[in-house]
Structure 1
Amino acid sequence: MFKKRAINKRLQPKSSLENGPQTEELAEPHNTSNLPLKSDDLTPMIHEKFNNTSDLKVKKYINLTIYYIENQINQQELNQNIIGKIKQADEITTETVYASIAINEVEDTDDLSYAILRMIKGSVALFIEGTPKIILASIPVKESRALSRPENESQVTGPQLGFNESLATNVSVIRRYLSTPDLCNEFFVFGTRTNTAVSLLYIKGIASEDLVNRVKHKLNQIEVDALIDSSVLNQHLDDHSWSIFPQMLLTERPDRVSDGLLNGKIALFVDGSTNVILCPFTFIEFFESREDYNIRWPIATFIRLLRIVAMFLSIFFTSIYVAALTFHYEIIPQALLVPLGESRSRVPFPPLFEAVLLEFIIELLREAGARLPTKVGQTMGIVGGIVIGTAAVQAGFTSNILLIIVALSALASFTAPSYTMGNVIRIIRFPILFMAGFLGFYGVMFGFCLLLIHLIRLSSLGAPYLSPFYPPRFQDWVDSVIRLPMKYTNKRPTLTRPADVQKYDPDKVN
């Protein structure tokens, strides 16, 4: 079994001068590796390893045999920089092959399992008769889409760049933002069947060594057969896997990842995924956006407060309406009693059933609009909401006032910058709604207390989830719900316990 391990050294390009075989090694009279000395014996072994797959190609030239997976390598580079160059040599030996190949990443190995893995990743295996080693030249097909705008984290001001599916491209984008040699990049491999590359990025001198070691320890504990996306790795790293709340951020914005690294956080890149894991993360940070730093501080503070109010509105507004109509008529102003009575005069259902029905319809429309093509989905959401809402009121299934309340609650749930936190808000509404329908305001308060206790108990990589409010860290309040001028945000948050606390000298900002 291919064990998960750090592969910093093994995946680095090797030059022909540094890694060419020594003469003394070639002069050994017996074979100490697990490789045969003849291609006639090696070829069946490779075919067996690949289960006789049809895209395994074998080419023979004099005493050189070339093995590769057809769709994994660049055919033009193979013909020009490998086969074409080798044919120009007077004789084919290990030294002449190293000297002839015009490829940067070349290495040799006597481990057949490792050679098979490298062939899957886009390397060509070259075997010379009588030599118990395989030369590997990496020429993978570089198929990746161009960098484009983020799909799920749009903003008006600031960079309009998002990650793509290429691990190397995503890391290079971060290096473009953070041009410092202190940016450390460590590689890991996960999945005994997928062998997915994962990069762990942090800034040495800012990130806490304890935090880095904790993440490495968690990564070393993971044993899976497949890792397809960063969201899967995110769930393996959670401190509380049973909680509905996300404990790490999944983002597709390089500027947000760079800002997090500068604050002492750690980023995890998964090959083939457009989302990057940023950790640790707190509850309040899910309602912050990188755009908040690109606008004036009073506007940024107002927008953050608006998101917090919208969260409470989305969770509790419908529940308060149901509790008031079911148990607590006395709190409704007298001026509203007549419109409420007229609106509900034709509705044969209790407020709880009416609210659950509308919330369910809203969720159906939202999910249908997300799964359909973009233009059709937008039309479906708008037309479906208008048609179904109007028909429901005219048919007497619901009241006008509740339709407005449910629509406002659904609209408020979209204000969260994080898609995962928006989904959490959607789900939490339902249990609190049922508590309000059966227990009134006592149920709403009971649900709020349960929610608060659960948030207090949560942590993200050992850091308190409700920081900086619990435990109270007043020095971090200047950049949480409110955002003060840059002069007062000169210190990194204490959440990550950064090695370098001071960002800049506040006296030299203005």
Structure 2
Amino acid sequence: MKTEFKSLDQLLQLSSKSSDFKTTTIVLGKQEVSIFYYSTLIDAKWMQQHLIHVVQNRALDSEIKDIEDIKAWIPINDIDITDDLTKIQSKLLKGYAIVQLHGNEQKCVLVNLADNHGLRKNNDTENEFSVVGPKVGFIEDLDTNIGLLRTIINIPNLIIKEIIVGTTSKTKVAVIYIDGVTNEQNVQTVEQRLSGIDHDVVFDSSVLDQMISDNSLTPFPLFVSTERRDRVVYSLINGQVAIISDGSPYFVLGPSTLFDFFISPEDYYLPWILGSFFRLIRIFGVIFSLFTTSMYVAITTYHYEVIPKDLLSPLIFSRMNVPFPPFFEVLFLEITIEFLREAGARLPTKIGQTLGIVGGIVIGQAAVEAALTSNILLILVALSALASFTTPIYKMSNAIRFLRFPIIILAALWGGIGIFIGLGFLFVHIIRLKSLGSPYIVPIFPLRIMSFKDGFIRSSFQILNKRPQHLRPKSSVRYLPKSVKQKNDLDEE
């Protein structure tokens, strides 16, 4: 989004909406000098030593007559004097400070004070990994995270508002959005809910996620939680609101829909056909993970007639020595898999990987040989566990892991009818869910045909030029796609 400014005051007025935009005024004899900068983009020590202290010391011996004097005093190479608003805006958002002499508001000095925020050796994402695309993740410092965002969203319309949450911790929480794109009602809702929190200590953004949620009686996450910079940037330019607390590397994004949890940033770095295919694989994987073991219980307990004749003999042979009914057999294996998952997640990385592989093979083989379970069920449970991890967002995979158990119980009680009862309750529940007042399963309900272009599939960039309408953005067009004319190099003009 591009904003045209008629004067420097308009640029400074828009920038001042952000909490990280600072103004410092220095009195040098009879003159006043104002310094404007983004604290998240500059090196504060460098500014104090090489700008403020130097100018103050030189002003004791000399008098400032013109803006050129300030440029001559500052011992920094990258300095420029200009009145070009486009250049001033660009430099300000690249980590430069604007030095302005009162009485001469037309020209100003641009001083390079940029700091390489967030560029450290171990800055890769740990839990959201993709083969293609940038791997820059956030860290536990709020200013650094905001600086990482500003390096990509290089416009003054990126607004940061800080709110103090926590009666004991006094944690700084930043509400981030793009002015002129994000619906103001969503921003006001977030600010109102954050201001109404009465809690002692805020350790992580995940705590805020639960406190501002529309419904606390649901296993589904109502806000996307991510540590990837590209995912946060994509959400902001679409019109969502981002929330992060100091001390947390995870951003909370809302309003979110169910489809947001199946979208990976990698989808947009691959050709749209491949991106759509892998997204459909994820959606199918979640459905498979949710109903596979419950269907096994229902079929082997009540519905033998649906088993093909060729499969019936291997199934009878595999369960011939198993003394338990299918329900206890499935429950035993599912709980065993959960034990391995939790143990692998809590142990150090190298030990956890070894435990997951060795434990799964040893326990699975021993369970089959001891006739505690059938080998067919072992394969189904293993595939179901793998499919639950296809979701890019870890919180959604946790919800899928939990929902399998009540559906298994319903399948054991009433068979296929029990599965359909559970599916009906699940549909009714998610239809009633909202995220910041926005429907959770849009574009399915309410039906939005045009929004399907980035739902089940990822369409071409020629089609994805408009923002999702369920976010009610103030500006619906992201960019104007232009067709590229192909030219054959062999053609002669």
Task: Classify the TM-score, shorter chain.
Answer: 0.7 to 0.9
Q: Aligned partner of 1:402: which letter?
A: L
What is the CA–CA distance in structure 1 between the aligned matches of 2:407 and 2:448, rounded to whole Å?
30
What is the CA–CA distance in structure 2 between the aligned matches of 1:11 and 1:369, rounded to whole Å?
40
What is the CA–CA distance in structure 1 between the aligned matches of 2:168 and 2:479, rounded to whole Å?
47
Q: Give the gaps of 5 or more residues in structure 2.
A: 1-15, 30-44, 58-116, 486-493
What is the CA–CA distance in structure 2 between the aligned matches of 1:168 and 1:313, rounded to whole Å?
42
What is the CA–CA distance in structure 2 between the aligned matches of 1:388 and 1:267, rounded to whole Å?
43
- Residue 263, structure 1, aligned to residue 272, structure 2: no
2:181 aligned partner: 206
Q: Aligned partner of 1:458: which letter?
A: L
Using the TM superposition, give the Cα deviation of residue 505 of structure 1 relative to its aligned residue in structure 2, in angstroms: 1.7
What is the CA–CA distance in structure 2 between the aligned matches of 1:502 and 1:251, rounded to whole Å?
25
The 1:15/1:486 distance shift into structure 2, 3 A limit, reads closer
SS at match of 2:160: strand
SS at match of 1:17: strand
Give 4+ residue runs of structure 1 displaced > 2 Å after superposition: 7-20, 142-147, 506-510
Q: Is contact 1:435-1:444 (8 Å) kept? A: yes
- Residue 451, structure 1, aligned to residue 426, structure 2: yes
What is the CA–CA distance in structure 1 between the aligned matches of 2:361 and 2:347, rounded to whole Å?
18
SS at match of 1:388: helix
Using the TM superposition, give the Cα deviation of residue 506 of structure 1 relative to its aligned residue in structure 2, in angstroms: 3.0
- Residue 460, structure 1, aligned to residue 469, structure 2: no
Give the alignment partner of residue 302 of structure 2, picking from 321, 327, 334.
327
- Residue 235, structure 1, aligned to residue 210, structure 2: yes
CA root-mean-square deviation: 2.5
2:70 aligned partner: none
What is the CA–CA distance in structure 2 between the aligned matches of 1:509 and 1:211, rounded to whole Å?
37
Q: Is contact 1:167-1:271 (8 Å) kept? A: yes
Using the TM superposition, give the Cα deviation of residue 15 of structure 1 relative to its aligned residue in structure 2, in angstroms: 3.6
Q: Aligned partner of 1:341: which letter?
A: I
1:292 aligned partner: 267
Aligned length: 390
What is the CA–CA distance in structure 2 between the aligned matches of 1:207 and 1:509, rounded to whole Å?
30
Give the alignment partner of residue 17 of structure 1, picking from 8, 12, 26.
26
The 1:495/1:171 distance shift into structure 2, 3 A limit, reads same
Aligned ranges for residues 246-285 of structure 1 at < 5 Å? 246-285=221-260
Using the TM superposition, give the Cα deviation of residue 218 of structure 1 relative to its aligned residue in structure 2, in angstroms: 1.3
Q: Aligned partner of 2:343: which letter?
A: A
Q: Is contact 1:147-1:163 (8 Å) kept? A: no
What is the CA–CA distance in structure 1 between the aligned matches of 2:400 and 2:278, rounded to whole Å?
18
The 1:15/1:492 distance shift into structure 2, 3 A limit, reads closer
Q: Is contact 1:486-1:509 (8 Å) kept? A: no
What is the CA–CA distance in structure 2 between the aligned matches of 1:318 and 1:224, rounded to whole Å?
41
Q: Give the gaps of 5 or more residues in structure 1.
A: 1-6, 21-75, 89-141
1:423 aligned partner: 398
Using the TM superposition, give the Cα deviation of residue 486 of structure 1 relative to its aligned residue in structure 2, in angstroms: 1.0
* CA displacement, residues 397-450 of structure 1 (integer Å, 9 cap, x when unaligned): 000100000001001001000000000000000000011011100000000111
What is the CA–CA distance in structure 1 between the aligned matches of 2:265 and 2:209, rounded to whole Å?
21
SS at match of 1:437: helix
Q: Is contact 1:144-1:164 (8 Å) kept? A: no
Using the TM superposition, give the Cα deviation of residue 191 of structure 1 relative to its aligned residue in structure 2, in angstroms: 1.0
1:245 aligned partner: 220
Aligned ranges for residues 388-399 of structure 1 at < 5 Å? 388-399=363-374
2:201 aligned partner: 226
1:169 aligned partner: 144
What is the CA–CA distance in structure 1 between the aligned matches of 2:228 and 2:356, rounded to whole Å?
27
Q: Is contact 2:17-2:159 (8 Å) kept? A: no
SS at match of 2:454: coil
Aligned ranges for residues 492-503 of structure 1 at < 5 Å? 492-503=467-478
How many percent of aligned residue pairs carry the same amino acid? 47
* CA displacement, residues 218-239 of structure 1 (integer Å, 9 cap, x when unaligned): 1221122211110001111100
1:131 aligned partner: none
Using the TM superposition, give the Cα deviation of residue 17 of structure 1 relative to its aligned residue in structure 2, in angstroms: 2.7
1:433 aligned partner: 408
The 1:144/1:293 distance shift into structure 2, 3 A limit, reads closer
Using the TM superposition, give the Cα deviation of residue 495 of structure 1 relative to its aligned residue in structure 2, in angstroms: 1.8
Using the TM superposition, give the Cα deviation of residue 242 of structure 1 relative to its aligned residue in structure 2, in angstroms: 1.1
SS at match of 1:177: coil
1:303 aligned partner: 278
What is the CA–CA distance in structure 2 between the aligned matches of 1:463 and 1:188, rounded to whole Å?
23
Which deviates more from structure 2 when the two are superposed, residues 395-404 or residues 480-489? 480-489
Using the TM superposition, give the Cα deviation of residue 14 of structure 1 relative to its aligned residue in structure 2, in angstroms: 6.2
